[in-house]
Amino acid sequence: MADFPLRIAVFASGGGTNFQAIVDKIATGRLNAWIMVLICNNRNAFALERARQAGIRAEHWSETQAGSREVFVEGLLRVLRDAKVELIVLAGYMKLLPVEVVREYQGRILNIHPALLPKYGGQGMYGTFVHEAVIAAKETESGATVHFVDAEYDRGPVFLQRKVPVLPNDTPEILRERVLKVEHELLPEAIAKFAAEHR
């Protein structure tokens, strides 16, 4: 079973650079996985275009589009079940996953966060806001965390972490780029680690 590629679904909301990092690792043979579907809550997310360029199924699906929470949840679960997804990867997904999805895929959902959790996590701690907070607190290091997802933002158990220094002249934008480079390595590494340990 473990010889077969891990079947994953990726959720994203924006540019999709972490999604692209996964696509690239798979393409070079350094990650044994299949991206079955990319799901975006934002119809204008460039991640959708990245998926189309890579020949990967791309779905725009949001509660607003669905018309009700119930239809939204049913639609999500149907896509995931039909694709026989083994692991859900949140790669810059800005929404809280419905509790029904978390329950069905408990222990099989990973999220990447641009800080060293449990510090600088939770609602509102995303994008540049995280890096602004790290610099304002005069931290000497930051980094990226991959963690298992539960029903709250950034609260599930840490799976992998990597540190980067915070330098004296860093702006939030400079720190963001340094952390993002680490994210692009850490997320595919976490997927490989999950496949090795949980199949």
Helix, strand, coil % in the chain, rounded to nearest 5: 40, 20, 40
Which stretches does DSSP call E strand in the chain? 6-12, 33-40, 58-60, 87-90, 109-113, 141-148, 158-165
Residue 49 CA, distance from chain mean position? 17
Active site residues: 113
| Of 25, 21, 18, 70, residue with least CA distance to 40 | 18
